[in-house]
Structure 1
Amino acid sequence: MSLSKIVFLLFLLTNGRNCEEPRCSKYDFEEKVLEKMVRIEFQMERLKLEVEQCVNRVENIKTEVSDQMKTKQQELENGFETSMIEVGNVTSEVRAKLLELQNFKDMAVTPTVTFKARLNENTAVLGGRIIVFPTVVFREGGAYNTDTGKFTASVNGTFMFSIAFCVYIKKYFVVNIMIDGNNYSAPLIYGDDGRGCSSADTVAIVTAGQDVWVEAQTGSSTGDIIYQDKYRWNTFSGTLINRL
């Protein structure tokens, strides 16, 4: 072998050892960078998944809360409507009770119904005629008519009616307290030596709208029988004792 060939082989061997890849070559760096990028991408994917799961949980909670709020709102609305209905029912019951109490009060409280009327002068008495008392002494809540001589009851109730007459000496007549045509009292009024006065009364249950009057049963067609002056009054009176 020639010297030149030997030198060339030595050069190749020397350069072959010197051209081995060092440990910190660019390939090693790129491999490490690629490995880090893969790890980062994996972490990003995992983080993305966790974010998506978190967003889903938030959306689920939001939907759940919204549904609960709607349910509560509906319950409140239903409860309000129910409460309003109950309040309306209670209001109706209270009004009914108040009306009942008012009716009870009206029934419990006896109104003032009373009157008294008198004659103005000496009077003849004719049998079967109504004796009209033209002058009202007092009248409260009643309906005594000075034209007809009749009292008309305004309420149902128990009434007391009284009459008083003064007659001339030794004259007399029979008088009736009439209620809707029925006789409730028939006293004989007689004049003694002192021109005395007599009275009579009756208690009767009278219905609203019924009439009460004084009627002579027997009398004289000539001359005055009833005597009237400032000390002797001939009267017809009535008063409500109890409302029915």
Structure 2
Amino acid sequence: MFQRLNALLFISAVLSEPECSRFHYEEQTLNKMIRQEIAIEKLQANMAETQQQVLDALGNLTETTQQLRDLNNERTKLKRVTDELTEEANKNIRNYAAKIEKLKGPTVTFRCKDLVNLTPNAGETLVFKTTTLNKGLGYDNKSGIFTAPVAGTYTFSVHFCVAGGKNMYYAIVADGVEIKKGWFCDLKWNTCYTTDTVTVLHKDSKVYVKYSHSSSLLVTTSIYWNTFSGVLVKS
């Protein structure tokens, strides 16, 4: 009787135990731990993937940086080559210009007007007192003589305005030799005439214009002049 009573009490105690028993708590704890472990594994996988992505990005950045360095080096080389080519081109241009200048030779030319004597006598050297151009300083407006500063081929021109009814006999003389002679005349009107010649001169050769016959009468005004000019054609 007593044993049966104890058995009934035990069964009653088991049947009356709460739903949240120790076993139920351990089951929930285990499930929670399993879920946390799965979450941690997933987190680790995500971290590993992110780490690989970072490593890949760093690799790409390193490659890009190297490409930029290579491009900068190529740009530097290209600029150096361009500068060298530009300098070489400028040097060639300077050399070519110097050669052209050398081929051109010196500039010698003169132009003068205003005869000192409008009624020259035979054999008189004609002196033009106003020098309007004198490159090379060859013409002397005191003596009327051009002295060649360099040897070469020269051309000379004279322009005379003769009074109506008068004569003008002239000669262009180089180193004492007459290289051009002529006669200008108009029976009625004051008339201007031009003539020229070419000759080869040595350095310091002398050229001048002289009146070669009887007396003459030349005229000059603000609209027509008597002139003498010359230029070095080739040295």
Range of TM-score over shorter length: 0.5 to 0.7
1:110-189 → structure 2 map (5 Å cutoff): 113-116=109-112, 118=115, 120=117, 133-136=126-129, 139-142=132-135, 143-147=138-142, 149-152=145-148, 158-160=154-156, 177-178=173-174, 185=179
C-alpha distance in 2, partners of 1:152/1:140?
Answer: 15
Alignment-mate amino acid for residue 82 of structure 1:
L
Q: 2:23 aligns with which of 17, 22, 27?
A: 27
% identical aligned pairs = 9
1:9-88 → structure 2 map (5 Å cutoff): 9-18=3-12, 25-65=21-61, 67-69=63-65, 71-72=67-68, 74-76=70-72, 78-79=74-75, 82-83=78-79, 85-86=81-82
C-alpha distance in 1, partners of 2:64/2:151?
Answer: 64
CA contact (8 A) 1:133 1:236 kept: no
User: Secondary structure at 2:228's aligned position in 1?
Assistant: strand
C-alpha distance in 2, partners of 1:123/1:229?
Answer: 7
Report the structure number with the largest CA radius of gyration: 1
Alignment-mate amino acid for residue 145 of structure 1:
D
C-alpha distance in 1, partners of 2:200/2:53?
Answer: 87
Cα–Cα, structure 1 residues 200 and 40, in superposed 2: closer, same or farther, change >3 Å?
closer
Shift of 1:11: 2.6
CA RMSD in angstroms comes to 5.3
Q: 1:204 aligns with which of 199, 202, 222?
A: 199
C-alpha distance in 1, partners of 2:96/2:151?
Answer: 19
C-alpha distance in 2, partners of 1:200/1:46?
Answer: 113
| Runs (5+) with no aligned partner, structure 2 | 161-170, 184-193, 221-225
C-alpha distance in 2, partners of 1:145/1:12?
Answer: 162
Shift of 1:36: 2.0
Indicate yes or no: 2:230 matched with 1:239: yes
